[in-house]
Amino acid sequence: MIINRDNDRIRLFNRRAVVLGGGQSLLVSALVGRMYYLQVIEADRYRMLAEENRINLRLLPPPRGRVLDRFGEPLAVNRQNFRVLIVSEQTRDLAATLDALADVIDLSEYDRDRVQKEVRRRRSFVPVTVRENLNWEEMARIQVNAPDLPGVIVDEGLMRHYPQNQTAAHVLGYVSSVDEDVLIDDPLLQLPGFRIGKAGMEQEFDLVLRGAGGTSQVEVNALGRVIRELERKEGEAGKDLILTLDQRLQRFTAERLGAESAASVVMDIHTGEVLVMVSTPSYDPNAFNRGLTQREWNALVGDPRAPMTNKAISGQYSPGSTFKMIVALAALEQGAITADQTVTCKGYTELGSRRAHCWEGRGHGAMDMVQAIAQSCDVYFYEIASRVGVDRIAKMARRLGLGSSTGVGLAGERDGLIPTEAWKRATLGESWQKGETFNVGIGQGHVLATPLQLAVMASRLSTGLAVEPVLTRQMMMEDTVRQRPTKPFEVLDFDPAHLAVVRLGMFEVLNGPRGTARASQLKIPGVQMSGKTGTTQVKSISMAEREAGLPDIDEIPWNERTHALFVAYAPEENPRYALSVIVEHGGSASIVAAPIARDIMTEVLRLDPSRKPRINDDQVAVSQPGAPA
């Protein structure tokens, strides 16, 4: 009995031992299989993951492409940017080190506070920027005092620089840091300190100028500290952009306009190339690159002369008497009047119980079309405008480039406004009145145009062609750059005799014995300019004010003074250049705008940029500071 129980116990033990051994074998087999799977089958995958933990791939910002004028004069370039960094783990006392650094270079309390916050947020071995845009002397002083500045290092990079400062700011625009609310779809935009175009050509051609980033492979330890650089591939520098501007004329025009709130555009009428586009006052685009202070920003946006606005394309003004050529052409084309028929001006015309006055209170007497343009007789144009009608005038205005944006390729360009009867019904819900046609006849009322549009108008009057303005010479990328027309400009199909009458009137403005701008004719022997003055009211004048006598301009608040405009082309015998000038609240066009236009045109003819060789594409050096050779 005892023997049987012992045998049962042995059998039970053996069964349990077998089960336990089998379980252990199964576990060992599973472990071996898992190890085989990880070390053999998945070896490549885990080797790659290990390498990725050990090796970091870092993006390198490319040098931004330059912007040049037609002769290769630099308008926007890159220059060395020295900046001072601090590594907190390399200094025992951060505050003391910053105190010592403040004895060497200017360091604001804002910079100190910012550095302290950055250090607390980052790992101790990560460098923190203390100040950028150090000059050579500041950088040298830091290097000399390096033994007393533990953890302080000087780094070198590139920053955008505009060597012409304010001269072409509105055309070029500026670069600035990427806004946090911008959708980031490009890894370059995520780089600390990376800047993108925010206005002007910098914005319009940002992708072309930006280039392609490079890469740097670095070996790091478990904490992310860089041990060494394994491989470096430089990026592709941004493409250079060549504009049609002539920087010499741009600078001269800006200096001639001076402190006025004004704009001027000069065009080559044969190619449409914009040689000058100036808006004053201007701003320094370099300030946006370094970062504006709140005080600087408030000064810019609070200035009533609007330095941030490109008045050449965004300023909308009543064209005044510069519009009278459009009314004259419309009248000739519709047969409302012939060139030699006269209208008598006695200083006003009746409009129901009201009077519409001429600027010449004593009246001009009998006026034919040439003299009406030359002497800018309002009564003559009241009469022919009423015969033609606002819709036909509007049609002619659009043929000459007014009423819609020119497509020159700058953000912010405005359409202006050419009113019609249908426009007023749709916009204001009112019917058109005859008095409004009078206002349109002298380029006021609802009529609005930009200085660029007025330069286009002068170009089309001088050629009879549908001249279109362009600002860029070099094609960079077909999907981002507006191409210059490859075919000749469309013929506007004016009757040559009609166009000759209007041109003769513009010639008489400057060169006739009674022209409104005869004091501003060119002083170049054998060369003459044709043009038209325009003085537009910004505030209506009541009958009581007119009878009491108008005050001198110095007695009128600046923002209530009339605008002064002038359009012109030259040389008269073989036109090549057209221009427009607008001086906001400048007063009389013949006294203010015409002399400015004369001086600008004189300089344009002296330099004659359209007839001289321009920079060729193969003359543009692609290498620049920081770019691969």
Q: Which amino acid is at 401?
A: G
Q: Average pLDDT of 494-499?
A: 96
DSSP 3-state of 443: coil
pLDDT at residue 113 greater than cutoff 90 = no
Q: What does the pLDDT look like over 314-344, one tens digit per residue? A: 999 999 999 999 999 999 999 999 999 999 9
pLDDT at site 481: 44
Q: What does the pLDDT look like over 568-586, one tens digit per residue? A: 999 999 999 999 999 999 9
Separation CA 374–CA 512 (nearest Å): 7
pLDDT at residue 617 greater than cutoff 50 = no
Identify whether 321 is a catalytic site residue: yes
Give the start-end residues of each E strand in 52-114. 55-60, 67-68, 74-86
More confident residue, 35 or 348: 348
pLDDT at site 27: 80
pLDDT at site 556: 83
pLDDT at site 136: 83
Q: What is the DSSP letter of 84?
A: E
Separation CA 289–CA 296 (nearest Å): 13
pLDDT at residue 455 greater than cutoff 90 = yes
pLDDT-derived band at 1, boundaries 50, 70, 90? low
**Cβ contact 258:280 at 8 Å:** yes
For residue 435, give the H/E element and its range: helix 434-441
pLDDT at residue 6 greater than cutoff 60 = yes
Q: What does the pLDDT look like over 474-494, one tens digit per residue? A: 644 444 444 444 568 999 999
More confident residue, 616 or 187: 187
Q: Average pLDDT of 429-442?
A: 95
pLDDT-derived band at 47, boundaries 50, 70, 90? low
pLDDT at site 623: 32
Using CA atoms of 184, 188, 189, 191 in order, give the dihedral in degrees to the nearest 10.
120
**Cβ contact 590:516 at 8 Å:** yes
Residues of the chain with pLDDT > 90: what percent? Answer: 54
Peptide bond into 595 cis (omega under 30): no
DSSP 3-state of 527: coil
Tokens of 565: 């405009």
Q: What does the pLDDT look like over 595-608, one tens digit per residue? A: 999 999 999 999 99
Would you list the DSSP string of 246-266? Answer: -HHHHHHHHHHHTTSSEEEEE
Distance of CA 46 to the CA centre of its chain: 51
Separation CA 557–CA 553 (nearest Å): 8
pLDDT at site 479: 43
Domains of the chain: 58-120+128-242 (3.90.1310.10), 247-611 (3.40.710.10)
pTM listed for this prediction: 0.82
Most confident listed range (93-107, 235-249, 292-306, 514-528)? 514-528
Separation CA 83–CA 139 (nearest Å): 8
Give the C-alpha distances (Å, rounded to integers) separating 176 from 195, 196, 355, 442.
Answer: 5, 6, 55, 44
Q: Are strands 128-134 and 354-357 parallel, antiparallel or unpaired?
A: unpaired
Lowest average pLDDT, out of 117-121, 268-272, 620-624, goes to: 620-624
pLDDT at site 251: 97
Separation CA 597–CA 369 (nearest Å): 24
pLDDT-derived band at 225, boundaries 50, 70, 90? low
More confident residue, 133 or 286: 286
More confident residue, 138 or 54: 138
Q: What does the pLDDT look like over 157-205, one tens digit per residue? A: 788 999 999 999 999 999 887 775 654 566 777 665 678 888 999 999 9
Lowest average pLDDT, out of 116-120, 226-230, 476-480, 599-603, goes to: 476-480
pLDDT-derived band at 2, boundaries 50, 70, 90? low
Separation CA 385–CA 444 (nearest Å): 12
More confident residue, 48 or 460: 460
Separation CA 87–CA 153 (nearest Å): 8
Separation CA 211–CA 236 (nearest Å): 6
Q: What is the mean pLDDT of the chain?
A: 85
pLDDT at site 618: 44
Tokens of 496: 């040559």
Q: Which amino acid is at 471?
A: L
Separation CA 320–CA 466 (nearest Å): 22
More confident residue, 38 or 188: 188
Alpha-carbon torsion (27, 29, 32, 37), positive or negative: negative
**Cβ contact 418:403 at 8 Å:** yes
pLDDT-derived band at 237, boundaries 50, 70, 90? confident
pLDDT at site 624: 36
In the set 88, 321, 580, 590, the catalytic residue is 321
pLDDT at site 265: 98
Cα Dmax for the chain: 154
**Cβ contact 581:565 at 8 Å:** yes
Q: What does the pLDDT look like over 536-570, one tens digit per residue? A: 988 766 555 555 556 666 678 888 899 999 999 99
pLDDT at site 480: 45
pLDDT at site 599: 98
Nearest to 573 by CA among 530, 625, 520: 530
Would you list the DSSP string of 354-385? Answer: EEEEPSSTT--EEE-HHHHHHHT-HHHHHHHH
Neighbours of 546 (CB within 10 A): 12
Q: Which amino acid is at 570?
A: A
Q: Average pLDDT of 290-300?
A: 82
pLDDT at site 148: 85
